[in-house]
Amino acid sequence: MDEQTTAWMGLASMHISRLYESGLSETTVTSHVLGMLDQLGRSTIDVILIDAWIAQRQPEKVGTQASEHNRRSTEARRLLGQWATERGLVQMGAGEAQRPAPSVAEGVARQIFGLLSLTGAHEIARRLVDVICVGLDHGTDQIGGADPLTEAQTLFAKDGLSYEYAEEGPDHDKRYTAIARTGGGRSARGEGRSKKAARVAAARALLRNLPPTRRPAARPAKTAPITAPPQPYRNAPPRGHRDALSDLVAMFELDDRLIAGFLAQALTHSSYVYENRTDVAAHHQRDNQLLAHHGSLVLDHLAKHARVGRILAHGLVPDEDEARMHTPANEDTARLGTALALADGMRTGRGEDSQRRSTVADAAQSVAATAWRLHGTRLLRRRPAVLDGWLSELQYQHEPVTALNLLTTLFGMTQHYEYERTGLDHLQTFTSTLVLSDARGRVHRWAVPPEGPSSKSDADKTTAQDVLEVLAAPADDLVDALTVAERDLLRYLLRAQLDGLATTTARQRIRIISGSLLGTDLLATGDLDAFCAWARRVHDLLHAEDDTVPPPLGELYRQIFADTRFGPRSLLRRMAAEQGNDSAGTVRRNAAEVVGSAAARGLWGVTVRDVVQGWWRERAFRTSVTVRDDMRQEPFLPLPAQLAALDETLAWCGEAAEAAGSPIDVELTIQDGTLHTWIGLQGLNTRVACDDFARLLSRTLPHTDCLVDDGHVLLRLHGRLDTESLTPLAVAGIDAYLSGAGAPSPLANAREQEPVAEYRETL
């Protein structure tokens, strides 16, 4: 095991409590990394278990396979958790270690299996499951079964069985102990967070301690061994079916005689089996439901593997939205089936429509299962472009109903849906009316007419998505395209947000930004022109009924910049927490210290020329310096933080030039109210020396851009906004943007009142 893999294994062995205590959380590694490994590990274990099961058994019904898989998964998680504990692999925080719950060890075990999958060690993971979870494939027994209480009660009915209980811990963290005693003198102990959990643990321990001769016989699941494999249809199947099979064979490289029968089964709907039993029996075929269940687990694993690999390749500090993972929904697998052109290849009954979403979705899952049976984990590395594209395009955002509920809750709003049904039973259509109520009790109703047969869930999604699109109109400059009713809805939503906004948490602010609410996404990216345009649209839409900006909104804007510039997950904090001892790590830590200093101190009572001349006097005797001042008389009034940025940039580049023994050239020009400071560094790798510093400076200080190219650094200090007038909303946002390192708004600070007032006069 190399050094990098060892480090990853150390991380995967951590419980979230240990991560927080280690000091690595937020700035170096977020807890979402462990959550992603956990989910990937769960899907890894699932495909290993289902692969082992279908290799030995063939149940008659998909429900049997699903319930047996759930039972085996539950027991496997428990056994893997015990294994992780016994091997000392679980790293917990001090508090969690005093009273460790089984779920902690089970979670860490899943993280380890997720890492094994991510690093290509799937075969090692499979062998571990085989060794640790021995006995899972022999049906439900009295130890691993779902109901050890019944097993124990039946076995000791003659002797008598009783339980004794004890509890300890505070009310919010009770821990129960149960002791099972038999009339024959046997006893066993179990613990849990409830009496029932402790009783079950005690019963299971009692059964486990019995000699094999006393244990009740295992009850095998109602399945049969696999008989003759399915065969392709030989009786001149429709051309669409033949063409689909041919395309899938070429696409997934399924040129295998045994697999051909399963591929035909993947395209066999239950309605065809019902109407053509003789043909189906002659080819040892059945419908695709068992394959679809297997394929749902395969696609879930492929999706999580691709998602985790893609996110962690960009760093170990993903936020909640970046780390979000969903099991592919029916709509997703239906879209895959459409991309694979499976509809025309389906074998369905006369009354079944092969174009129906559920039909195509099941077929897509079945095709994935068939390909997995032949290729296995090869699909993690090499797969058809269609499948790879589908995986990369999966949406990991909340579906519209959940997204709307999360956003409205932030502003003290409530919502519910009312339904109207039309059409015959098999073609019924639901219209969903969303009923919104804001913090002041104002109610608004909104409905979207359906375009065809739909369920209640489909209708809810359609209505919620429509509301979200209307809410996004001001940011997208689509207000003029809204209907009268949509404008009324937008006014209601905007007033509800302004009236219902309260103190927010960091997590809520992330959600507000990701939802593009109240112009926060435009502010967070520093696009002040777009933000001012948004504020003007909102101002006009609300008819300027009240120009007063609610105090919570101004505070929200200030906190957003405090989060993005100096918060725990900001670039500044992450660079400051750089752990590496190499030159790159040292450069990042130094850059964080320098930029943090510039943001905190600012420079007062000096001009741009003062800063440059002071730097030149200090630097000239150590480094060859040339300064060309072309600023002339154009007006430029920098902010104190910008002057500090200029000072630190000159110092950073000067030290780099001195270390390399190269001259340094500086040119100062003002164009359209922006100061351009061009710093030439001959014979120096500017990207290595200055990239991290420039990126951090641009992210942290207002109205500041620092760009690095071969041989030079360009610092741009923007002195004015291209707007004629500012609405109260725009003023609130700009005040927050100009705020210092978590300090009050410049307009609220008497010391900074005059510079900001002069700055506004230049707008």
Please report, rounded to a whole number, the percentage of residues in the chain having pLDDT higher than 90. Answer: 41
Give me the helix-helix angle, 583-601 and 686-700, nearest 10°.
Answer: 30
User: Which pLDDT does position 722 carry in this prediction?
Assistant: 56
Confidence of residue 553 (pLDDT cuts 50, 70, 90): very high
How many CA within 13 A on the CB side of residue 67?
13
User: Which pLDDT does position 623 carry in this prediction?
Assistant: 84
Q: Residues 133-139: what's their mean pLDDT?
A: 65
CATH architecture type of domain 3-138: Orthogonal Bundle (1.10)
Q: DSSP letters along 214-273, please?
A: GSPPPB--SEEE--SPP----S---HHHHHHHHHHHHHHT---HHHHHHHHHHTB-HHHH
| Greatest mean pLDDT range, 91-95, 337-341, 635-639 | 337-341
> In the sheet that 175-182 helps form, which strands lie side by side, from edge to edge?
161-168, 175-182, 187-192
Q: Which two tokens stand for residue 444?
A: 């608004």
Q: Quick: pLDDT tens for 292-326.
A: 999 999 999 999 999 999 999 888 888 887 888 88
What is the overall mean pLDDT for the chain? 85
Q: Quick: pLDDT tens for 59-117.
A: 888 888 988 898 899 889 989 998 999 889 999 888 777 777 888 999 999 999 999 99
CA 549 to CA 547: how far, in whole Å? Answer: 6
Q: Which two tokens stand for residue 658?
A: 């001195």
Q: Quick: pLDDT tens for 169-216.
A: 766 567 788 999 998 888 988 887 788 878 888 888 888 777 755 555
Domain 603-718 classified CATH 3.30.565.10? yes
User: Which pLDDT does position 140 carry in this prediction?
Assistant: 41
> 432-453 burial, b for 16+ CB within 10 Å, e for fewer?
bebebbbbeeeebebbbebeee
User: Which pLDDT does position 168 carry in this prediction?
Assistant: 81
Are 130 and 52 in contact, with CB atoms under 8 Å apart?
A: yes
Domain 148-214 classified CATH 3.40.1350.10? no
Picking from 127-131, 571-575, 693-697, which range would have the lowest pLDDT averaged per residue? 571-575
Q: Measured at the alpha carbon of residue 39, what is the angle toward residues 34 and 45, in degrees to the nearest 5?
A: 120
User: Which pLDDT does position 39 carry in this prediction?
Assistant: 95
Confidence of residue 139 (pLDDT cuts 50, 70, 90): very low
Are 203 and 152 in contact, with CB atoms under 8 Å apart?
A: yes
pLDDT at 123 exceeding the cut of 90: yes
User: Which pLDDT does position 747 carry in this prediction?
Assistant: 31
Domain extents in the chain: 3-138, 148-214, 239-300+323-393, 513-577+725-763, 603-718
Picking from 195-199, 324-328, 571-575, 731-735, which range would have the lowest pLDDT averaged per residue? 195-199
pLDDT at 225 exceeding the cut of 70: no
Q: Quick: pLDDT tens for 242-288.
A: 999 999 999 999 987 778 899 999 999 999 999 999 999 999 999 99
- Characterize the bridge pairing of strands 187-192 and 223-225: unpaired
Query: Residue holding tokens 């409905």?
Result: 447
Q: Quick: pLDDT tens for 30-67.
A: 889 999 999 999 999 999 999 999 888 878 888 889 88
Give me the helix-helix angle, 456-471 and 400-409, nearest 10°.
Answer: 50
CA-wise closest residue to 283 among 241, 325, 228, 329? 228
Q: 3: which residues sit within 8 A by CB, 6+ positions away?
A: none
